[in-house]
Structure 1
C-alpha cells in the first residue's frame, strides 16, 4: 500500500494535511491553511516537488 495524504481541521479553525507512510507513520504535517482550497494546493505543491532526488545537507559545516 502506498502512502496517503489526510486533511484535517486544526484547533485554530484552519486546515492541515499530513502525509502518512505506507506503515501508518506520519512523515509530514503541514502548516495551517485558512481554506480547503489552499490546503489542497499545498498538497499539490508537495506532490510536485517531492519527485526531486536532490538532498541539500545544511549540517556539513558542523
Structure 2
C-alpha cells in the first residue's frame, strides 16, 4: 500500500495533516495548524511538489 496524507481537525478546530507510510506509521506531520481546510490542502500540495527535488542538508558532519 502506498503512503497517504491524512487531513484532520485538531482539538482547537484547526486543520492539520500527517503523512503515513504504507504500513500506517506516521512519518511526517504539519508543523503548524491551518485556519481553513483549503490552506491545509495547499500545504499538502506544496510538500508533494517540493519534496521530490529537495536537497539533503546533512548537518551531522
Could you tell me the TM-score, scaled by structure 1's length? Answer: 0.88
Give the Cα–Cα distance (whole angstroms) in 2 for the partners of residues 41 and 59 of structure 1.
31
Aligned positions of 1:10-49 closer than 5 A: 10-30=10-30, 31-49=32-50
Corresponding residue for residue 58 of structure 1: 59
* Structure 1 residue ranges, 4+ long, deviating more than 6 angstroms after superposition: none
The alignment yields a C-alpha RMSD, in angstroms, of: 1.1
- Count matched residues: 60
Q: Which runs of 5+ in 2 are unaligned?
A: none
- 1:37-62 per-residue CA deviation (whole Å, 9 max, x = no partner) reads 100000000001111252101232xx
Q: Which runs of 5+ in 1 are unaligned?
A: none
- 1:17-36 per-residue CA deviation (whole Å, 9 max, x = no partner) reads 00000010001110210000
Could you tell me the TM-score, scaled by structure 2's length? Answer: 0.89
Rg larger for = 1
